[in-house]
Every structure is written in C-alpha cells, then in structure tokens.
Amino acid sequence: MAQTSSWKEALRLSMPVAMGYIPAGMAFGVLSSAAGLPWWWSVLLSVCLYAGAAQYAAIPMLAAGAPTVSLSVNTLVINLRHIFYALPLLEALPKNSLRRWYALFALTDESFSVLTTILPEQAKRLFVKIVLLNQSYWILGTVVGIGLGAGLNQLIPHLDFALPCLFVVLAYEQYQAKKVWWPCVIAAAAFVFASLLTVNYLLLLAVAGCAACILLWEASGRLKTSDKGGVA
C-alpha cells in the first residue's frame, strides 16, 4: 500500500512535466523522422541519452553523418549544466548504487525543478520514481512522434520550440515556490555577457559564468559569516 501511495504521489507531482514532455518528445520523434533517421535511433537516444536539447541538436548532426567526437563534444557542452544539478539534492539521492546511478543519469532540468520545490523528505522518498516517470513521458512522446511521421512537421512548424517553452514554465513555477530572484539575474547577465564574446560556445561560456558567480556569491557569504564570528 505504501509503494502504491508513493507512486500515486510521484505521478501527481510529475504531471506538469508530462504535459510538456509528451509534446516535446513527440516533436523530437517527428523531427527525427523528417530528417530521415531510423526509428530505432530516435528511441535509443531517448532511452540512453535522454537530454532534450542535446537530442534536438543531434538530429542534423546524425543526419549529416557527423563524427562521433563532434557528437560527443556537442552533447557534453549542452549538458554541462547537469553537473551542478545533483549538488542541492545530494541528501536525497538513493543509497543503492544502481538506483543512485540512474537517478543522476535521469536528473534533467524539469526533474530538478520538481525535486527542489518539494520537501526534502519527499524528494528522498520519491527521487527515482519521479525521474523514471519523467523519462517514461519523454519516451512515450518520442514513440508517438515517430508514429505520426514527418508530415506533422509541415503542418505544425517550429515544433522544436516545445522544450524551451516547457523549461520557461517550470522555471517560473520554481520561482513562485522559492521566491529567490538572484539566480535569474545571474543567468540573464551571464547569457548577455557570453553572447557578446562568442556564438559557437555561447552555452558553455554562459554556464561557466553562472557557476563562477554562484561560487563567488557563496564564498562572499561564508566570508561575511566568518568575519562576524571573528568580531564576536
């Protein structure tokens, strides 16, 4: 009964992600079909890569026969931000090594948004269930998109914009729950600064700028705390 209840709770919490992941996964399936990729490639990417932005970016590269090194570097740059997602959730990660590995693998932007807006006890209990459900939504959307075929891309243009829209909505929901404004300012400033310097490495430089600002922010806070302690 407890397991059934926890699955229902995870399902309820992951429903907002499902509303975005299924259409975004469908868009990926349709776009990959339009690019002439085999259906099993699309499913394999959703199972083994499971990174929306990187999967969208991989479509033209795979269609053009890009080398493995280029694909790997491109995926690394796009997903570099995921390195920091586990830090606020270290206490919530499962103890079992296999479950822990999968939890880290499946920790996407949207799953991170859900897990950081619930109580720590909930996150610890529902971590694997939430990320598993979210990946299931993405795979389901991919399969449906492949079934609909490339023709849908002509009827509904700009399908690849579905994922950024979902991320914006979830970021807004997270802000509403946390009421913390400074990460938004740091992200916007880092993006503007990076766009002035480069185009090809815009995301990498913006992520690095955000990480540097957050580290400086935390370091300054600790320095102030230690100074107060020294004065006392």
Enter the tokens of residue 13.
């919490």
Q: Are 120 and 91 in contact (CB under 8 A)?
A: yes
Q: pTM here?
A: 0.71
Give me the residue spans of the domains in the chain. Answer: 2-178, 181-232
**For residue 57, what pLDDT is reported?**
79
Distance CA 26, CA 183 (A): 31
What is the chain's pLDDT, residue by residue, as a tens digit (232 residues)?
A: 566 789 999 999 999 899 888 988 888 888 888 888 899 999 999 999 898 778 887 888 888 887 888 778 778 777 777 777 888 898 899 999 999 999 999 998 889 989 988 988 999 999 999 999 999 999 999 999 888 876 665 666 666 566 666 667 667 766 776 677 777 788 888 888 888 887 777 767 787 787 788 778 777 766 555 555 554 4
Instruction: Count the residues in the chain.
Output: 232
Buried b or exposed e, range 33-71, using 16+ CB within 10 angstroms: bbbebeeeebbebbeeebbbbbbbbbbeebeeeeeeeeb
CB atoms within 10 A of CB 223: 10
Q: Are 194 and 206 in contact (CB under 8 A)?
A: yes
Buried b or exposed e, range 74-94, using 16+ CB within 10 angstroms: ebebbbebbeebeeebeebbb
